[in-house]
Amino acid sequence: MSDVLLRRWTGAVIEGAKRGPARPWRPGQPLDLLIAGYNGARNTGSDVRVEEMVRQIEHVLGPDRVRISVLTQDFRLTEGYFGNSRQVKLPDVFPPFLAREVPRHHGVIAAEGSMFKSRFADALTTMMVGALGVASARNGISIGYGAEAGDMHPGLERLVRRHCGSSLVITRNRESETRLRALGVPVEPGTDTAWTFEPRGAERADTLLRAAGWDGSTPILGLCPINPFWWPVRPSILKGAARLFGAYRESHYRSIYFHRAGADVDAAYDRYLSSIANAVTAYRRERHVFPVLVAMEALDQDACARVAARLDGAPVFASGDHDMHTLVSILRRCDRLVSSRFHAIVTSMPALVPSAGITMDERIRNLMHERGHEHLLLTVDDPALEERLRGILHRLDDEAESMRDDLGRTVSDNLVRMARMGAFLEAEVARRFAEFPVREGLVPWREYLPPLSPGLEALAARWATDAPALGAPHRSGVPA
């Protein structure tokens, strides 16, 4: 199997779905929605996104009026997540599954942040397009929620152009709007859905930190390294067969999927990790801090372990061992954060943690530009990464207080954008199902968000006082 075959197979499944009837919805019955995402791999960002997506959808449409199912790759790793949603196993070979499962619902909400890009895996975007395309083919709700678009393989772009023209994609930045609009995809502006997340169990985070050697007062420096060089993942039957005889074990991801590998990948990876470790070591000679490594996805554990070993055995907190509530609580306990994980920065910002990014793509870059903190942005392949990171660590100290206003403003702005996403969702449901009960007229923007924590309430009260009311759908389903 190759990415080409997978795209053709998925396209055929979507075309076949056009021959089937739409699932009817009748007033009084729950609206069945399927959330399609990258869950069950203990990717903290993906799980937090969907956790908040479920809360917002239920709040906007009514918990008794909607019935949500969420795809997962491993029930064990998503146990206790996503509220009362039904969880459905996503197989590695997914086209036949989409043909069966999507028509059982009234619509699909595609949930992956990196929804339309080739940077990580063409197969992931192909699955997103397949879910959206089958839903559209059956005249159901077909929404990409908080999506980002980047560089795509030409064949993948053709798949998007052909099968997402009847979907609605709510993006999380203007760059993604521009890319998708050029492919003929209807778009609306939005944001990520992790902004409203409030972790449970802050006490457990303190207990874990103290058990790892923290004295309760030394400033904590959080570090979130990754392996940015072994992407994308691609399917290969030949490698899958060779693995049975001991080959390709180090680059194996799962099933018939394999990471990018080679001497150049290993060398770039080692330079990146060494630069981070050396910069932090130099910084610690001048500033007494307690470094902790946070593996936001199970795949990050190797990067964290390697950096930790060079920092005198600093503690590692990994998503394979701790749930999303614990990891986000640890991030919010940090006094400074340096991360190559987008959602580590996002989920720490409501606690106003000063942070810098070392980016492999446009996600952290876009966020830093939005914050006005371009000077705190580095790239994973920067030949001067070590030297520049040393300077940025000191800038985080120097600018910590002044930075908090920028962080609070950015969080509040994104809460308003997330509320607007809820209004777009409601409008799209009303357009597809005209008898579904929705709000009418101008509605306070906060009504489109799930309940907020006291901390987020305080940020919104300070920074979003002039946010306008939102226009809810008319009965015709046309937004006011």
pLDDT given for residue 247 in this prediction? 67
Q: Which range has the worst mean pLDDT, 84-88, 298-302, 335-339?
A: 298-302
Residues 92 and 255 sit within 8 Å (Cβ to Cβ)? yes
Position 287 in a domain: yes
Whether the pLDDT of residue 252 is over 90: the answer is no
Query: 445: which DSSP letter?
Result: G
Position 445 in a domain: no
pLDDT digits (tens, 9 = 90+) for 1-10: 588 889 999 9
Tally of structural domains, the chain: 2
Query: Average pLDDT of 187-204?
Result: 93
**188 and 55, same domain (yes or no):** yes
**314 and 281, same domain (yes or no):** yes
Place of tokens 């987020």: 456
pLDDT given for residue 236 in this prediction? 74
Identify the domain boundary among 146, 166, 196: 196
Q: Which residue has the higher pLDDT, 153 or 346?
A: 346
Whether the pLDDT of residue 478 is over 60: the answer is no
**165 and 239, same domain (yes or no):** no
Total count of residues recorded for the chain = 480
Position 435 in a domain: no
Alpha helices in 68-201 (DSSP H): 95-101, 122-137, 154-163, 174-182
Position 464 in a domain: no
Q: Which of 30, 197, 40 is nearest to 112 (CA)?
A: 40
- The structure tokens listed for 73 are 């790759």
Give strand pairing partners of 54.
none
pLDDT given for residue 424 in this prediction? 96
Q: Is 185 helix (H, G, I), strand (E, B) or coil?
A: coil
Judging by beta carbons within 10 Å of its beta carbon (0-12, 13-18, 19+), is residue 401 exposed, middle or buried? exposed
Query: Average pLDDT of 22-51?
Result: 94
Read off the amino acid at residue 388. Answer: R
Cα dihedral 346, 347, 350, 353 sign: negative
Identify the domain boundary among 398, 419, 442: 398
pLDDT given for residue 471 in this prediction? 81
Whether the pLDDT of residue 178 is over 70: the answer is yes
CA distances from 154 to 117, 128, 161, 167, 230 (A): 11, 16, 10, 20, 21
From CA 365, how far away is CA 342, in angstroms rounded?
9
**163 and 286, same domain (yes or no):** no
Residues 306 and 273 sit within 8 Å (Cβ to Cβ)? yes
DSSP characters for 256-307? TEE---SHHHHHHHHHHHHHHHHHHHHHHTTS--EEEEEESSGGGHHHHHHH
**239 and 113, same domain (yes or no):** no
**219 and 253, same domain (yes or no):** yes
Q: Which range has the worst mean pLDDT, 45-54, 244-253, 461-470?
A: 244-253
Residues 152 and 158 sit within 8 Å (Cβ to Cβ)? no
Mean residue pLDDT of the chain comes to: 92
Q: Which residue has the higher pLDDT, 387 or 173?
A: 387
Percent of the chain clearing pLDDT 70 (strictly above)? 96
Position 411 in a domain: no
Three-state SS letters, 381-435: CCCCHHHHHHHHHHHHHHCHHHHHHHHHHHHHHHHHHHHHHHHHHHHHHHHHCCC
Identify the domain boundary among 144, 179, 196: 196
Per-residue pLDDT band for 480 (boundaries 50, 70, 90) equals very low
CATH number for position 299? 3.40.50.2000
Position 437 in a domain: no
Query: Average pLDDT of 406-416?
Result: 97
**82 and 208, same domain (yes or no):** no
From CA 223, how far away is CA 220, in angstroms rounded?
10
Whether the pLDDT of residue 87 is over 60: the answer is yes
**181 and 218, same domain (yes or no):** no
pLDDT digits (tens, 9 = 90+) for 40-54: 989 999 999 999 999
Q: Is 436 helix (H, G, I), strand (E, B) or coil?
A: coil
Whether the pLDDT of residue 422 is over 50: the answer is yes
Place of tokens 């371009």: 374
From CA 140, how far away is CA 411, in angstroms rounded?
33
Kindly report the number of other CB atoms within 10 A of residue 457's CB atom: 12
Task: Let me know the angle formed at the C-alpha of 211 by 210 and 216, rounded to the nearest 5 degrees.
Answer: 10
**192 and 220, same domain (yes or no):** no
Whether the pLDDT of residue 245 is over 80: the answer is no
Whether the pLDDT of residue 477 is over 50: the answer is no
Query: Average pLDDT of 41-68?
Result: 96
pLDDT digits (tens, 9 = 90+) for 210-227: 999 999 999 999 999 999
Q: Find the domain containing 64 and state its range.
A: 3-196
Judging by beta carbons within 10 Å of its beta carbon (0-12, 13-18, 19+), is residue 307 exposed, middle or buried? buried
CATH number for position 118? 3.40.50
pLDDT given for residue 304 in this prediction? 98
Spell out the residues 6+ positions from residue 460 whose beta carbon is closer than 8 angstroms to its own.
412, 415, 446, 452
**185 and 307, same domain (yes or no):** no
**147 and 279, same domain (yes or no):** no
Which pTM does this prediction carry? 0.92
Residues 356 and 376 sit within 8 Å (Cβ to Cβ)? yes
pLDDT given for residue 144 in this prediction? 97
pLDDT given for residue 476 in this prediction? 43
Whether the pLDDT of residue 474 is over 60: the answer is no
Spell out the residues 6+ positions from residue 457 whose beta carbon is closer than 8 angstroms to its own.
none
Query: Average pLDDT of 282-309?
Result: 96
pLDDT given for residue 479 in this prediction? 44
Judging by beta carbons within 10 Å of its beta carbon (0-12, 13-18, 19+), is residue 387 exposed, middle or buried? middle
- The structure tokens listed for 314 are 């600093």
Whether the pLDDT of residue 242 is over 90: the answer is no
**239 and 150, same domain (yes or no):** no
Q: 122-156 in b/e burial notation, b at 16+ Cβ within 10 A? A: bbbbbbbbbbbbbbbbbebbbbbbbbbbbebbebb
Query: Average pLDDT of 351-355?
Result: 98
Phi first, then psi, for residue 170 (nearest 5°) are -95, 110
Position 473 in a domain: no
Query: 473: which DSSP letter?
Result: B
Give strand pairing partners of 336.
221
Position 408 in a domain: no
